[in-house]
Structure 1
Amino acid sequence: MRAAALWFAVQQELEAEYDHSTSTGGGALDRLDDDFIFHTSHLSRTAVQFVADCVRGTVEPPADAAVLAALCFFAHGSVRADAAEALRVSPEGARRAVAAVTAALARRLEHFVTFPGSLSDRALVAQEMHRHFGVPNIVGALGCLHAPVAPPAGEEPLYMNGSGFHALACQMVCDAQGNLLSVEEPRPGGVAEQSVWEASRLCAQFAGGRHGHSWLAGAGCYRLSRHVLTPLSCVRSHPGLRYNEAHFKVQGALQRTFGALKLRFQCLRHLGPVDESAAPPPADVIKACCVLHNVARKFSVPLLGELVPEAAHHGATRGEQDVDRNLVLFREEMIRAFFTA
C-alpha cells in the first residue's frame, strides 16, 4: 500500500505535537470495548485515538466522548441514543461536539489529503496506476462525489444532478488503492463536471505546470485536455477497445472509493438542508469525511458491510469536436504504443 506516501510525514508531525502519554485517563475510550467503538464510529480504537489527539483543544472536554459522538454522526447520520447514553453526552453536548469536530477536521483537510508534489512521488503513483490498470502516466482518477441534499428554496435546478436528485458535488482524485489525493470545495450538483474542473485549484495548479506533464483520468463528461485523459467516444479498433476497458477500470477505482466513503460515513447518503443556518455546514461534513477516509486507510480499518461502487452521476458524454487535434493524435499514439499487443 502507498498510503504512507500520501501523508508526507503528517503522522509524525501530529504525533510530535500531541503527547499520547498525557491523554486524559479514564476517558470514554478507556470505558468502552473495541466492538462498541468500531460499530459506533466505523473506525478502530487506534484511529479514534489518533483523531481525538488531532482535534484535542478544539472541543469541549471530555475530548474522547465528544470525538466519538461526532464520529457516530459521520458513521450513522445522527448521534444514536445508545451511543449518547454510553458516552454520557447530552443532546446539546452532542450537537456542539458534531459542530466542533466537523469544523476541526475540515480545517485539516490539506494536512491529510495531499496531491503528490514531487516528480518522484507522482512517478510512484503513476507506476501503481499503470500496474493496476494498464494506462500510463496517470496520477489519479478524477471525478465528483454526489451527496444528496435539500437545496435552498428557489435554487432547486442548480442542485439537480444528472441522476435526477439534488446534491452537492465534490471533485476528488484518488489513487489505485482508493486513497484521496485531492478534494475541492463542494459545488451544487447541477454544475457540469467540466466546469467544476476548470474552476478548481487543482486545474490551476496543472495549468501552471506545478504537476508536470502527468495526466488525470476523467470520464467522458470531461473534455480531453493537456492534463485530463478521457475515454474514446467512438471505438474503431481493438487497441481502442482495450484502452477504453482500461480507462473504465480506472474510473471503477474512483467509484469504489466513493462507495467506501458512503458505506463508512452514512451521513453522506443525505446531508440535509443547504443553508446558512446548517450546523455543521454540509460542505464541511464532506471534507471531514474525506479526512477520516484517509485516516481509516492509514490505519487499515476494514469496512463494515459489503462495498458497492457508487454509480456515476455525471452528465452526458462530451463530443470531441472542440478538442485540440494534437491531443487526439497524441492519445492515438499512446493507444498504439501501449494497447496494441
Structure 2
Amino acid sequence: MSLAGALWLAVQDDLFLSGHNDIVATDNNTAQDKHRRESSNITSETRSLLDQFDDRFLLQHFHLSRPCLRFIIDYIHARLKKDAFAPSDNLTSVEAKTLATISFYAHGSLPSMITDRLGIDVNEAGDAVKSLTKLLSDMSPDFITFPNSYNDRMGAAQAFKNVSGIPHVVGVLAYFHVKVTPPLGREQSYVNTLRYHSVMMQVVFDVDGNILSLEQCCPGGTPEHSVWASSDIGKQFTTFQHGHSWVLGARGLFGGGHVLTPIIASRIITNATKRFNKAHAQVYGLVQHVFGGLKSRFQCLRDIGSIQTLKSVACTIKACCVLHNISKKFSVPLPLNCIIEPLHPPSKEVMSATELPYDYMEDIKDEMVKMCFGNNKEDDV
C-alpha cells in the first residue's frame, strides 16, 4: 500500500486525539460521562449533511463511499482545528465545503443541485474548492509515501514478481497528462506526443494502483527522461537510496537510472526476451487503468482549461491523488463509466534505436532474462 500501516494508524490516532483532547476531568467517571456526551454531540452534528444522501447518491455524485467521505471530512476538520490561521468553521460547515469540493472534483463543475442540498452559496463553494485543494495538496506527504524500508520494498517487489515474474520492481513509473489550455506564447511546449496541450506530473504507483510518489509538474512536451533525472525520487534511485531495486517504465525513459524499460527491437533475439517484453507490457499496461481510474473518479482532471501557473494545476492533481489513495484504502469502486487512458508514445528523442545511448540497465535486463525468463528449452528463435 502507498500508505504504510503505521502511518495509517497514526492518522487515525491523530483524528481521535483531536476530537477528544478537550476532555479534562480529574474524576474518571465524570470524564467518561463527558466523553459520551461530546461523542453524542459530534455524532448528531455529523449526521446533519452526509446522512441526507443515501449510499447510491454518494457514489453517483461524489464517486466515494460514505465511510471514505466520513474519514476525509473528519481529517480535514482535524487539520483545520490545528491551523491558527484557518477560519473557525464548525464540523457542519467543514462538511458542506468538503462535499462541495469533492463534487467539483468528481464532475469538473459544481451542480446547483448539490450546493442547494448542502446549503452553501455558490461563491462560498468556489472559495472552498480553492482553499481545500491547497489543504489536500499539502496533505500529500501523509498519504503518498514511497516504501523506504527494506521490508516495505521487498513486499512491493514480491507483489510485482507474483503478477509478472520480473524481480526487484518496486513501482511503475509513468507520466500523468491533464489536458489544459496553455498560457499564450507557450503553446508548443505544452504539446505532448498525442498532439494535445497538457500538463504532466511524474507518478510512481504500486501493483495495486496506490500512488507512491508524485512530483515534477511540467508542460506536456517535456522529455520524460529529463524529468526523471531531475526528480527527487530519480536522484534517490541513482544514489542507491532504495538499494538493489528499480522502477518499471516505458521506452521514453531509456537511459534513466534504475528504470527498467522494454528490450529494444534489435536485441529481441530469443523467446526469453519476447517473454520479458510481454511481462513488461503486462505490468506497464496498468498505467492505462490507474490513470483512467483517476480521470473517471475525478473528472476535473480530464480538462482543467485555461491555466496561468503550473503550481495551481499541481495542487489540483495532488489533491485528487490524495483522495485516490484514501479511496483505495476504503476499497471504493470506480464509477461505472470508467475510461481507459491511452498510452503516450516516446518523444522523437528516443524513437531511433541507433541514437540511444548506452544504458547499464541493458546488462541487468540480459541477466534477468536468462535467470527469470529463460527456463524454456526453446529459447532460440
Q: Residues 106 and 320 from structure 1, CA distance in 2 versus in 1: closer, same or farther, beyond 3 angstroms? A: farther
The question of whether the paired residues in 2 share the 8 Å contact of 1:148 and 1:268 is answered with: yes
Correspondences of 1:194-209 after superposition (within 5 Å): 194-209=225-240
1:264 corresponds in structure 2 to: 297
1:18 corresponds in structure 2 to: 15
2:370 corresponds in structure 1 to: 336
Q: Which runs of 5+ in 2 are unaligned?
A: 20-38, 81-85, 376-381
| 1:108 maps to 2:134 | no
Secondary structure of 2:51's partner? helix
1:142 corresponds in structure 2 to: 173
How many angstroms does 1:328 deviate by?
2.2
Larger mean CA deviation between 308-317 and 296-305 belongs to 308-317
Q: Residues 76 and 325 from structure 1, CA distance in 2 versus in 1: closer, same or farther, beyond 3 angstroms? A: closer
Distance 1:84 1:325 in 2: 54
1:275 corresponds in structure 2 to: 308
| 1:41 maps to 2:62 | yes
Q: Which amino acid aligns with 1:312?
A: L
The question of whether the paired residues in 1 share the 8 Å contact of 2:259 and 2:361 is answered with: no
Secondary structure of 2:251's partner? coil
How many angstroms does 1:312 deviate by?
1.3
How many angstroms does 1:321 deviate by?
5.2
Distance 1:168 1:155 in 2: 12
Secondary structure of 2:185's partner? coil
2:206 corresponds in structure 1 to: 175
The question of whether the paired residues in 1 share the 8 Å contact of 2:216 and 2:227 is answered with: no
Distance 2:141 2:158 in 1: 24
Structure 1 residues 28-60: Cα deviation after superposition (integer angstroms, max 9, x where no partner): 113222222222210011111111112112574
Distance 1:209 1:11 in 2: 27
Structure 1 residues 266-303: Cα deviation after superposition (integer angstroms, max 9, x where no partner): 00100122215x9x922111000100110010000001
Distance 1:80 1:144 in 2: 31
Distance 1:272 1:221 in 2: 27
How many angstroms does 1:226 deviate by?
4.0
How many angstroms does 1:76 deviate by?
0.3
1:247 corresponds in structure 2 to: 280
Distance 1:308 1:238 in 2: 33
Aligned residue among 53, 63, 81 for 1:32: 53
| 1:211 maps to 2:242 | yes
Distance 2:365 2:218 in 1: 30
Secondary structure of 1:335's partner? helix
Distance 2:345 2:221 in 1: 9
**Structure with the larger helix share:** 2
The question of whether the paired residues in 1 share the 8 Å contact of 2:225 and 2:256 is answered with: no
Secondary structure of 1:102's partner? helix
Aligned residue among 340, 359, 375 for 1:309: 340
Structure 1 residues 158-193: Cα deviation after superposition (integer angstroms, max 9, x where no partner): 111000111110110111111111111311101011
Distance 2:273 2:324 in 1: 35
The question of whether the paired residues in 2 share the 8 Å contact of 1:7 and 1:113 is answered with: no
Structure 1 residues 166-223: Cα deviation after superposition (integer angstroms, max 9, x where no partner): 1110110111111111111311101011111111110111123211120100100112
2:193 corresponds in structure 1 to: 162
Distance 1:325 1:286 in 2: 32
Q: Normalized against structure 2, the TM-score is what?
A: 0.83
The question of whether the paired residues in 2 share the 8 Å contact of 1:161 and 1:314 is answered with: no
How many angstroms does 1:98 deviate by?
0.6
Secondary structure of 1:140's partner? strand
The question of whether the paired residues in 2 share the 8 Å contact of 1:145 and 1:169 is answered with: yes
Distance 1:306 1:116 in 2: 32
Q: Residues 176 and 325 from structure 1, CA distance in 2 versus in 1: closer, same or farther, beyond 3 angstroms? A: closer
Q: Which amino acid aligns with 2:9?
A: Q
Secondary structure of 1:141's partner? strand
Identity %: 36
Distance 1:40 1:308 in 2: 17
Q: Which amino acid aligns with 1:15?
A: Q
RMSD (CA atoms): 2.0
